[in-house]
Structure 1
Amino acid sequence: MTSARRQLIDVNATPFYHVINRCVRRAFLCGDDKLSGRSYEHRRGWIVDKIKALSAIFCINICAYAVMSNHYHLVLKIDVDKAKSLTQKDIISRWCQITKGHAIATKYMNGDALLEGERMLLDGLITQWHERLSSISWFMRCLNEEIARKANREDECKGAFWEGRFKSQALLDEQALLACMMYVDLNPIRAGIADSLQSSDFTSIQERIDSLNSPNRLLAISTPQTDSSTNQAHIHHKSLVQFDGAAHLNAQVGIPFHFADYLELIDWTGRAIRFDKKGYIDNQRPKLLNELGIAPDAWLTSAKEFRRQYSGISGRWDSMCAFKKQHNSGKWCKGKASSQALHP
């Protein structure tokens, strides 16, 4: 039985979540359909462009993504600090980029005086919109509805485009976040449709590497995220949550690792999980595995099977059980052995 979103998403427990959505029809979300001869590759761009556009509106940032032939993965971070800093006009302006808003909000933005009843109505709307701007459910709703409409128009058909509501996993600690991001970034290599990180199209790791290789990478790294520069490499770089090397997950700043260490680990992992490439299990372990004390075998299993190892929660075993108990979502958790392997 499925669980309510309030039982699966709790920003007080963690701001990081892995979400997945899958296409319902045999016709591809993306990729090439060999039976009909049609290509749907351009739809990958639809999804990447839309998640970045929505991230600029919502208080939700992108840590990792991978767009596959019939599904996509996102690792999202709810930006609590950004949500707290929004003014009433910021909230209205952002929400009106998604919907038509409300006549009272338009009146307020134009500087017209409001009656007492109108002021009360506006306060209620702003409170509601403020909550939605930090909601992964609303983020996914806006993403999936637009992609479904565009795909249905292109396919000249009606009906459901997605097989159901999106699936989510709460990532409760650093090991869970690291393993999940690695799982997402390595999707094309694991599926055998790419043979290197650089050729893993429509993934966050390819975008991060391209940003490093850009001649404007120093500008991208040093410029604040509020900058409105139109430089394409800069836009790509700032569209993803940055690796800040923070000591722990609750720092609320960025991804709590250094990118150089992440790049070393993902290169090692990608080579090891490809059967046609030489593995590096017997050689020196990457720095992050040593720091976290994770055994290579356990790590590689997680990189290949993370989605199946857990249900709606991933992290230290006691934290997973506490999350379940707090949200009244049952006593049983999936993934005890996997959790203990990642948290020695």
Structure 2
Amino acid sequence: MAQPRSSQISLLDTPYYHCVSRCVRRSFLCGIDNYSGQSYEHRRGWVEKRLLFLSSVFAIDLCAYAVMSNHVHVVLHVDVKQTQVWSDYDVVQRWHRLHKGTLLTQMFARGDTIGRGQRLTLDNTITEYRRRLHDISWLMRNLNEYIARRANKEDECTGRFWEGRFKSQALLDEAALLSCMAYVDLNPIRTKIAKTPETSKHTSIKKRLESIKQNTPTHSLMPFVGNERQHMPKGIAFSLKDYCELVDITGKIIRHDKAGHIDHQAQPILQRLGISDEQWLTLTTEFEKHFCYAAGAEQLMNQFKEHTGHQRIRGIGKAKTLLRCA
């Protein structure tokens, strides 16, 4: 039975979430349809471009993404504080980049005079827009509806393009966040779409590697800001170099016939995460298999269960073995 979104997202527990949208039709979202031979590869660019655009509108940061043949992975960071510092004008302008808004918000954006009676209605509307701009469901809706309409138009058909709802997993600690990001970034490697991270088209790891090569920051992705320290800037508390090396090494050992081993170069970041080589390999190849609505240390998963009203959450047993100190 489908769970209400309120039981899957708890900003009290974590701002980080892994979301997956899957295509419901036999025809592909992207890639080449083996049945008809038709290529939909160009649609990967649609999805990536839309994702990067939405991250510039919403107070939701893009940590990782991978556009696959019939599904899309994203790892998101919800920044509620950012919406609180936006002015009313900022909120309206951002919302109008996505939707027409109302007659009152259009008048406000133009600088027209707003009457007292109209102001109360306008304030309520802006409050709702402010809430929506940090709502994962609204971001995913603006991604999926846009792609569905465009794909249906190209396919000259109507009807549902995506499964009814996107899947959401709360990432409750650093180990869950980093392993899920690596899981997402390595999707093309596991499915043999690409051989190396730098050739994995339409993924966040490729975009990050390009930024390193060009020595330019990736403003569209949440940055890695190094280890915890005073006056910590906003970002993921690890080194980008460490993460890219870890993804590269992990990608080299993903094999169907052997469990493999992690190269010694990866040990510092794994030690900081508090997980062993074997645990890391399992997490980065089977993340969705072992966790449903949330992933993290056992104590954090129990807190999430309490805050979201779940009687039980699948994966707590695995959390004891995969997301514990090695």
SS in 2 for 1:19: strand
Aligned to 2:312: 331
Q: How does 1:92-111 map to 2 (within 5 A)?
A: 92-111=92-111
Structure-2 residue corresponding to 1:299: 280
Secondary structure of the 2:199 match is: coil
Q: CA 1:7–1:301 in structure 2 vs 1: closer, same or farther (change >3 Å)?
A: same
2:293 to 312, 329, 334: 312
Q: Offset of 1:7 from its aligned partner?
A: 1.6
Q: How does 1:190-339 map to 2 (within 5 A)?
A: 190-214=190-214, 217=215, 220-221=216-217, 237-247=218-228, 253-275=234-256, 279-281=260-262, 283=264, 285-339=266-320
The structure-2 alpha-carbon separation of the partners of 1:282 and 1:113, relative to structure 1 and needing over 3 Å to count, comes to closer
CA change 1:20–1:90 in 2 (3 A) is same
Paired with 1:18 and 1:3, the residues of 2 have a C-alpha distance of 16
Residue 17 of structure 1: aligned partner: 17
CA distance in 2 between partners of 1:203 and 1:62 (Å): 11
What SS does structure 2 have at the residue aligned with 1:76? strand
Q: In the aligned structure 2, how far is the partner of 1:291 from the partner of 1:84? A: 33
Q: Structure 2, unaligned stretches of length 5 or more?
A: none
- Look up the SS of the partner of 2:163 in the other structure: coil
Aligned pairs for 1:98-137 (under 5 A) are 98-137=98-137
Return the TM-score normalized by structure 1.
Answer: 0.89
Match of 1:224 in 2: none
User: Which one is further off, 69-78 or 333-342?
Assistant: 333-342
Q: 1:266 deviation in Å? A: 1.1
**Displaced runs of 4+ in structure 1, greater than 3 A?**
274-285
Q: Judge conservation of contact 2:183–2:283 (CA < 8 Å) in 1.
A: yes
- AA in 2 matched with 1:142: N
**2:153 paired with 1:153:** yes
Contact 1:23 1:70 in 2 (8 A): yes
Closer/same/farther in 2, CA of residues 262 and 282 from structure 1, 3 Å limit? closer
Deviations 1:143-199 (A, max 9, x none): 100100011111111110002210000111100000100000000111112111111
What corresponds to 1:228 in structure 2? none
Partners of 2:175 and 2:271 lie apart in 1 by: 12
- CA–CA separation in structure 1 for the residues paired with 2:39 and 2:281: 33
Conserved 8 A contact 1:75-1:181: yes
Deviation at residue 79 of structure 1 after TM alignment: 1.9
Shift of 1:316: 1.0
- More moved, 265-274 vs 148-157: 265-274
Q: What count of residue pairs does the alignment treat as equivalent?
A: 323
Conserved in 2, the CA contact under 8 Å of 1:315 and 1:339?
no
Query: Are the aligned partners of 1:316 and 1:340 in contact in 2 as well (CA < 8 Å)?
Result: no
Among the aligned pairs, what percent are the same residue? 46
Distance in 1 between residues matched to 2:82 and 2:196, nearest whole Å: 35
Tell me how far apart the structure 1 counterparts of residues 313 and 19 of structure 2 sit (CA, whole Å): 21
Report deviation, 1:342.
2.0
Distance 1:189 1:298 in 2: 19
Matched, 1:87 2:87: yes
Alignment of 1:25-104 (within 5 A): 25-104=25-104
CA contact (8 A) 1:61 1:241 kept: yes
Alpha-carbon distance between aligned partners in 1 of 2:199 and 2:258, rounded to the nearest angstrom: 16
Shift of 1:263: 1.5
Against the structure 1 CA distance between its residues 62 and 332, is the aligned structure 2 distance closer, same or farther, given a 3 Å change threshold?
A: closer
Question: TM-score, normalised on structure 2?
Answer: 0.94
Instruction: Tell me which amino acid in the other structure corresponds to 2:83.
Output: A
> Which residue does 1:232 correspond to in 2?
none
